[in-house]
Amino acid sequence: MLVPRQRVDHVMKRRTFCQATIGTAALAAPLSRVFAADKPALADVPAVKLSGQSTVIERAALNELSGSLHGQLVLAESSDYDSARRIWNRMIDKRPAMIVRCADAADVSSAVSFARERELLLAVRGGGHSFPGLSTCDGGMMLDVSQLRAVNVDVKGRRVVAGAGCWGGHVDGETQQHALATTMGQISDTGIAGLTLGGGFGWLSRQFGLACDNLVSVELVTADGKVRRASTDENADLFWGLRGGGGNFGVATKFEYRLHPVSAQVIGGGIEWNISDAPAVIDFYRETTTRGPRELSLDLGFWSSRTNERRIGIDLCHAGDIAAGMKIVESLRRIGKPVGDNIGVKQYVDVQRQFDDGNISGELHYIKGGFVPEMTPAFSDFLVKGFQPASGAVVYMQNASGAVADIAPEATAFWNRKVLANLMVLGEWGDPADTERMRAAVRAAWDQLAPYTAGYYVNLSDAAKDTTSRNYGANYPRLVKLKKKFDPKNLFRLNSNVSPA
Ligand SMILES: Cc1cc2nc3c(=O)[nH]c(=O)nc-3n(C[C@H](O)[C@H](O)[C@H](O)COP(=O)(O)OP(=O)(O)OC[C@H]3O[C@@H](n4cnc5c(N)ncnc54)[C@H](O)[C@@H]3O)c2cc1C
């Protein structure tokens, strides 16, 4: 198991929520005690509505919500407010009026109804890995499902059911105990909820499709507060929208995925060269990503070394026959003069966390990106000769193709399937004084690369931009219809938003 699994013990929660809840015993106590003569009455809480208008939430209503939860209500006065509001990207520093840490679907339903009845701005937090910070908000409610971490593997039926608060590492850790796996992201602490609802690329997606393509069913709470199950034979329209439509249709509480045999031992790691070897590396990349075995997934990267030398690199995972995979690795090693190479036979769970150290929570991050349809000679030429990356910006092309492209774009809400790779320009830094320089570096690199891309990945988009047609393509009208049916007031809007209007 990669990380300790935190099962929710409802009984314990029921017993202890009073102490943990609003940070003072007085709040969980009956109102008569809260307003006792010797204690100052706790004030109502200022908040922000969906419309952006200010409102006030009465203390009595908060007490009632808190009392109904198996989890916790965390307010700004709580000692754990600052840790509860934190998300992965330190660039984002927002202050929700309240955080509902849900312990089960019933809590999610109570929180959704509370927000809907008051027309409160609502952010839904799974793993908290949204680059633009869509899982939090200023002044609204943060509905946090991160405690829903139960994982149950059905070995015979080749299925896994995972709570919506799981990270990829929780799922991989459990399924790999049975030499099984499904597509998860490439960093072990990324939340499965946002990742799956928006698509979900990983080392296994060329072989088995996106994370959302492996869904068998989803349990979710819709805007009316109802707990529903969506699958091909139950709420099939909703199930279509949940596979690529992001968090537009409700709060997912459980995901059921199909599992595939994946041996504990795979080939993984990375190899890098000076930019002078780029033409041959790109040729290999183009050939292998279009014609190579689906067990092999290649990601291509460009960056500058500490001494400002431009580098090109390939990270890979081959989840199949080891001898066949090593043959391909040997041909890769014969290209030019590699300056670094850590490819080898490794545990699959280690390959799934090989980048974790480079993506430290608590750092500041900025990203731009789009899909690359194909590695045309013009794009390849530009990458080798024309591209001028500013210092600090890393370009990374995460492999798509293979099984991702087998599925018709209109078969699920995930539209951008016929592409070679998901291109990202990433900036990561620790000192806030560097923020403007790093954002400018990322933007400058993206401005050069954007003409070679088409369409945005739902999971990397900023809700503030009008990205809908580029995210959802010709599926957009169907998504609007679904949105009108399940979320007519657009309660779930902090995502790559489908407007019901
Ligand atoms: C370090 C890092 C590595 C990444 N690696 C990959 C990768 O390998 N492959 C890939 O495809 N993507 C990757 N991503 C992008 C990732 O898919 C998105 O950031 C995704 O949104 C993360 O999901 P989350 O639950 O952690 O996010 P959150 O920040 O919690 O939420 C993101 C969005 O999903 C919504 N949401 C969250 N939980 C729920 C829920 N239970 N129900 C409904 N809506 C919900 C939120 O409201 C928000 O709109 C990576 C991101 C990071 C930061």
Query: What separation in Å is there between the alpha carbon of 197 and the centre of ligand 1?
Result: 8
At 136-160, the pLDDT tens digits run 999 999 999 999 999 999 999 999 9
CB contact set of 366 (below 8 Å; sequence gap of 6+): 91, 131, 426, 427, 438, 439, 442
- Confidence class for position 17, pLDDT limits 50, 70, 90: very low
Strand residues in 202-295 grouped as ranges (E): 215-221, 227-231, 251-258, 260-261, 265-274
Which residue has better confidence, 37 or 475?
Answer: 475
At 83-137, the pLDDT tens digits run 999 999 999 999 999 999 999 999 999 999 999 999 999 999 999 999 999 999 9
Alpha carbon 139 to its chain's center? 23
- 252, pLDDT greater than 60: yes
Backbone angles phi, psi at 293, to 5 degrees: -65, 145
What gap in Å lies between CA 494 and CA 300, rounded to an integer?
31
Query: What separation in Å is there between the alpha carbon of 373 and the centre of ligand 1?
Result: 23
Taking alpha carbons only, the member of 420, 416, 417, 407 closest to residue 373 is 420
**First-to-last CA distance in the chain?**
45
What gap in Å lies between CA 301 and CA 425, rounded to an integer?
10
What pTM, to 2 d.p., does this model score?
0.91
- 55, pLDDT greater than 70: yes
At 66-76, the pLDDT tens digits run 999 999 999 99
Hey, whose CA ends up nearest to atom 13 of ligand 1? 185
Query: What separation in Å is there between the alpha carbon of 255 and the centre of ligand 1?
Result: 14
Query: What separation in Å is there between the alpha carbon of 402 and the centre of ligand 1?
Result: 23
Query: What separation in Å is there between the alpha carbon of 210 and the centre of ligand 1?
Result: 14
Q: Which of 90, 92, 135 to mutate to test the pocket of ligand 1 (most atoms within 8 A of CB)?
A: 135
Helix axis angle, 105-118 relative to 59-68, nearest 10°? Answer: 160
At 261-288, the pLDDT tens digits run 999 999 999 999 999 999 999 999 999 9
Q: Provide residues with CB under 6 Å of ligand 1.
A: 87-88, 124-131, 134-135, 145, 164, 185-187, 190-191, 193-195, 197-202, 246-247, 251-252, 359, 459, 494-495
Query: What is the rounded average pLDDT of the residues 180-199?
Result: 97
Q: Which of 104, 172, 195, 255 to mutate to test the pocket of ligand 1 (most atoms within 8 A of CB)?
A: 195
Query: What separation in Å is there between the alpha carbon of 268 and the centre of ligand 1?
Result: 24
Strands 227-231 and 215-221, by their bridges, are antiparallel
